[in-house]
Structure 1
Amino acid sequence: MFALSNEEWRNVTILCKFLKVFYDVTCVFSDSNYPTTNLYFRGVWKVHKILLYTVKGLYSFLTPMVKQMQEKFNKYWAEYSLILSCAAILDPRYKLNYVQYCFNTIYDIHASDFVETILSNLRLLFDEYVKKSKSTSSSLAGSSNVSDKNPIDSGLDEHNDNSTDFGGYFDESDDYKRYLNESSTRSEKSQLNIYLEELELELNSQIDILDYWTKSSVRYNDLSLLASDLLAIPIVTVASESTFSMCKKVITPLRSSL
């Protein structure tokens, strides 16, 4: 009398497939190497997608449970999706195209609005790093005293000192540097734009992301600083068993070996 019917076994099979997605994502997030934000977006997007797919009512016995899960999920997704989407863009395997694809599967016609918000915020964040880098460079330049002058330059300086009738002393070198900086800013693409326009690496390629940005620091000096800060954010700060278990704390052999 307690044997499961064929329909109940079918429901068990469907439930196992549903929970398998959460199991796989949890295994990635609780890995002993402590993966960072470049893996967060892809994993949580899979969770988001399966919740949307299931709540449509294809499996009615799951709908009440999934609606509660979705309500809790949306709370955290709304709070953290922005900064961690930026981190996904800074993964050379994903970049902007992958983020666009993921948002298209979630938001359909409204996806472009979300992607534009993410991209504009990423640009603002990058601009802050550029400003910080320029202020650091200018302070270092100002602290260095260069006393050696070319004889010709010295002669020109003396000439300028004697030209008070024509507006006083004027050193064109500073103005010329300012002109070069302004013109380069107008004409050159930013490091972020150059990075986004390059082709992505293969999606499943096994690369060390932080090592990639270390090697790219010469080419993308400002962008690499931003990437290293974003990608260094840990996904979890506690073991997954501590998060979900109501029992005593579990210590794995890996952690107890220390």
Structure 2
Amino acid sequence: MCSLYYKDVLDYWGQWDKDYQIFALSNEEWRNVAIICKFLKVLYDVTCVFSSSNYPMANLYFRGVWKVHKVSLDTVKGPHSFLTLMVKKMQTKFNKYWAEYSLILSCAAILDPRYKLNYVQYYFTTIYGIHASNFVETILSNLRHLLDEYAKKSKSTSSSLAENSNVSDKDPFDSSLYQHNVNSADFGGDFDESDDYKRYLNESSTKSEKSQLDIYLEEPELELNSQIDVLDY
């Protein structure tokens, strides 16, 4: 980058200093230097964003990692053949990372109310084209599975807490007082209202065909914070 800034000075120096002339770059070499710097600047900027954040977030990582992925793909497919070999070697390592972490990074981006599904769909389309929908569907499937697992675990925890609460509540009761309360109240037989109420809550929760994830995804995205958009270069 510094050499590009002083390009005119270095060219002028090469015309007058014979010792420097052997190091002077041709116009084509200067063009290649500019192309390399443009490519490496993307990696530099993304690295600065990640390293400068005191509290790095997964949704921020998704955008930066995508940027590196997209630039590397464009470079390999582009007209600058002198970069192809170097970038392909970089892609070998990057693709291994992308295969392991693209799913979790995508889920984190979708759960960011500023981005949601449209955000991830757009970026995957720029990488995979018409095949992007397959990757997005895999992400949604995993998100729904994660939500179901959370719901089951949450329900199990609630049931366990309720059982412990019932046990602790019964211990200090005076049996004679409990029998008096039951006899003095006419509930119309052996009807257990607590069980019926739980059944009502379970039925009510299953009436809605849309999951909380679907409802969340249908809500409009929040307005992007300009201070977060540091990767727009």
TM range (shorter): 0.7 to 0.9
2:133 aligns with 112
Matching residue of 1:30:
51
Letter in 2 for 1:69: M
**SS state of the match for residue 81, structure 2?**
coil
Q: TM-score, normalised by structure 2?
A: 0.76
Matches within 5 A, 1:86-125: 86-125=107-146
Q: Aligned residue for 1:73?
A: 94
The yes-or-no answer on 1:54 pairing with 2:75 is yes
Letter in 2 for 1:12: V
Q: Is the 8 A contact 1:54 1:62 kept in 2?
A: yes
In structure 2, what is the equivalent of residue 177 of structure 1? 198
The structural deviation recorded for 1:34 is: 3.7
Q: Which of 177, 189, 213 is the equivalent residue of 1:192? A: 213
Q: Which deviates further from its counterpart, 83-92 or 171-180?
A: 171-180
1:155 to 172, 182, 186: 186
Residue aligning to 2:224: 203
Q: Secondary structure at the match of 2:186?
A: helix
Q: CA deviation at 1:112?
A: 0.1
Distance in structure 2 (CA, Å) of the matches to 1:150 and 1:66: 80
CA deviations on 1:7-58 (whole Å, 9 max, x unpaired) are 1001101111110100010001112504121111000000000011000141
- Structure 2 Cα separation of the partners of residues 103 and 69 of structure 1: 20
CA distance in structure 2 between the aligned counterparts of 1:152 and 1:199, rounded to whole angstroms? 56
Shift of 1:175: 3.7
Deviation at 1:195, TM superposition (A): 1.6
Contact kept, 8 Å, 1:41 with 1:88, in 2: the verdict is yes
Q: Structure 1 pair 87/154, CA: closer, same or farther in 2 (3 Å)? A: same
Q: Show the counterpart of 2:11.
A: none
Higher alpha-carbon deviation: 129-138 or 47-56: 129-138
**One-letter code aligned to 2:153:** K
1:45 aligns with 2:52: no
Give the structure with the higher percent helix.
2
- Establish whether residue 126 from structure 1 lines up as the match of residue 157 from structure 2: no
Pick one of 42, 46, 54 that aligns with 1:21: 42
**Deviations 1:202-235 (CA, angstroms, capped at 9, x unpaired):** 234457xxxxxxxxxxxxxxxxxxxxxxxxxxxx
Q: Structure 1 stretch 81-90 or stretch 171-180: which is displaced more? A: 171-180
Number of aligned residue pairs: give it: 197
Residues 71 and 153 from structure 1, CA distance in 2 versus in 1: closer, same or farther, beyond 3 angstroms?
Answer: farther
Please identify the structure whose Cα radius of gyration is greater: 2
Q: Does structure 2 retain, via aligned residues, the 8 Å contact 1:95–1:196?
A: yes
Aligned-pair CA distance for 1:152: 9.8
Distance 1:120 1:112, change over 3 A: same
TM-score (norm 1): 0.69
**Mapped contact 1:93–1:205 kept (Cα < 8 A):** no
Deviation readout 1:97-147 (Å, 9 max, x if unpaired): 100000000000100000000011011111111111111212222222467
Code of the residue aligned with 2:148 in structure 1: it is D
**Once the two structures are aligned, what percentage of the paired residues are identical?**
80
Secondary structure of the corresponding residue to residue 24 of structure 2? coil
SS class of match (1:134): helix
Question: Are 2:166 and 1:135 equivalent residues in the alignment?
Answer: no
The DSSP-based 3-state class of the residue aligned with 1:156 is: coil
Q: Tell me the distance in 2 between the aligned counterparts of 1:61 and 1:153.
A: 93
